[in-house]
Structure 1
Amino acid sequence: MKIQKPKLATILEPFDNDLTVFDEGYIQDIKFDKESLESLEKNDIKIDSCCFKDSILKDIYFENVELLDIVFDHCELENVHFIKANLYRIQFINCRCMGIEITDSLLKNVLFDSCNAAYSNFGLSSFKNVLFHHTNLENSGFIQCMFDHLEFDRACLNNSDFFNTNLDKIDFSSSDINNIGVSENLLKGIILSPEQALEFIKLLGIKVKE
């Protein structure tokens, strides 16, 4: 899948350790390198063309936020919530973001690469051109979501829920999907490996007589 990369400025200003920058409502062209950002609760802000590298984001609650052209590289996101957010051209690279919440949001041209995102919640969100590559998504929720060109490439989705989500054209064949929850009426068009298909037959209560 072709994912548009973030469009970052050639030169980013280093963060000056002043959290009041988030009070301005518009953050642009800043590099957060080995920073620790904690206890931020903001509404109606825009973060544009920024890079977070080797940083910690903890106890973050952003509602009605627009995230545009951002890279999270080797970051730890703990208790982070993006509610009613728009995420455009975002990369999460080798991040530990267990339990991240991105709900009732739009994700467009977003990449999760080699991340630990277990126990994440994406409920009520729409995905367009989104790739989860080699990412742990165990026990995550994709409930009542809309998928348009979403790809799971060698992801771990064990015990995750997809209730009330249409799985047409979603390819799980390279991923682990043991004990996932699905809505039986929304399975048409799902793509599975032969082994996964056998497990789904059992999941649907169908008995195969040998």
Structure 2
Amino acid sequence: MNAPKIPTETLIPQSFSTIAQAEDHLLAQVAMKQETITAQRLEHPLIDQSTLTGMVFRGDVFSRFEVTDTIFHNCTLVNCDFDGISLFRVRFENCKLVGTTLDHGTLKEVTFVDCDLSLTNFNEAKLTQVAFQRSKLTELNCLESTLKQCQFSDCNLDQADFSATSLKHHDLSTCRFDTLRVTDWAVRGCRFNDTQAAYLARLFLGITLA
């Protein structure tokens, strides 16, 4: 998985609010810090080769949001609607995305590290080489989505819903959950630890292991 390609030595400090004033709604090679953006609506905003630190987005609606080669650090993106989002080589570090919608999104080479994605929606999305590391994914919704070469490492997946999403060739063995919503055929070829396998045996076969 490739890291975001950012010319950090030449980034220009910039306010996110200027994106609404730009004709093409583009912010490129800029550094944004410590702003709060609330209930803003934007059509097809683009962010490229930039960093966002300590930014707060609440209840924003960004249609066809595109982000490339960008790092979000200590950011809050809560209850936002990013339906149809496109993320390519993007990294989220210690970010909160609780209740945010990324339905119908396309994510490739994206990393979430130490993030809270509780109640986040990835329904009917395409996730390719997406890594979730030490993150909270409780009650996450990922229904009828396509996952390819994704990583789930030391995450809390309790009550996450992967209904009708194939987990084949994926590894959830280092993650934790008491309840996981999955479709029986969709867990074939997925790697689980012994405790998780016992839960699935009870769920689908009514078998209780001694």
- Shorter chain as normaliser: what TM range? over 0.9
Which residue of 1 is the match for residue 74 of structure 2?
A: 74
Match of 1:14 in 2: 13
1:62 equivalent in structure 2: 62
Relative to the length of structure 1, the TM-score reads 0.93
CA distance, structure 1, for counterparts of residue 134 and residue 209 of structure 2? 35
Larger deviation: 48-57 or 150-159?
48-57
**SS across alignment from 1:68:** strand
Deviation at 1:117, TM superposition (A): 1.2
- On the 8 A contact 2:172/2:192 being kept in 1, the answer is yes
Runs of 5+ consecutive residues of structure 2 not aligned to the other structure: none
Structure 1 residue ranges without an equivalent (≥5): none
Deviation, structure 1 residue 197: 0.5
Q: How does 1:130-145 map to 2 (within 5 A)?
A: 130-145=130-145
Aligned runs of 1:39-58 on 2, under 5 Å? 39-58=39-58
Question: Structure 1 84/201 Cα, relative in aligned 2: closer, same or farther at 3 Å?
Answer: same
Shift of residue 207 of structure 1? 2.1
Structure 1: distance between partners of 2:42 and 2:16: 15
Residues 135-184 of structure 1 show CA distances to partners (whole Å, capped at 9, x for unaligned) of 00101101001011011000011001011101101111000132111111
> Separation in 2 of the partners of 1:127 and 1:49?
21
Q: Check the 8 A contact 2:16/2:32 in 1, yes or no.
A: no
Identify the residue that residue 91 of structure 1 maps to in structure 2.
91
State the Cα distance separating 1:20 from its structure 2 match.
3.9
Q: TM-score scaled by structure 2?
A: 0.93
- SS of equivalent residue, structure 1 residue 62: strand
The equivalent of 1:157 in structure 2 is 157
Deviation at 1:42, TM superposition (A): 1.1
Question: What letter is aligned with 1:144?
Answer: E
**Poorly superposed stretches of 4+, deviation over 4 Å:** none
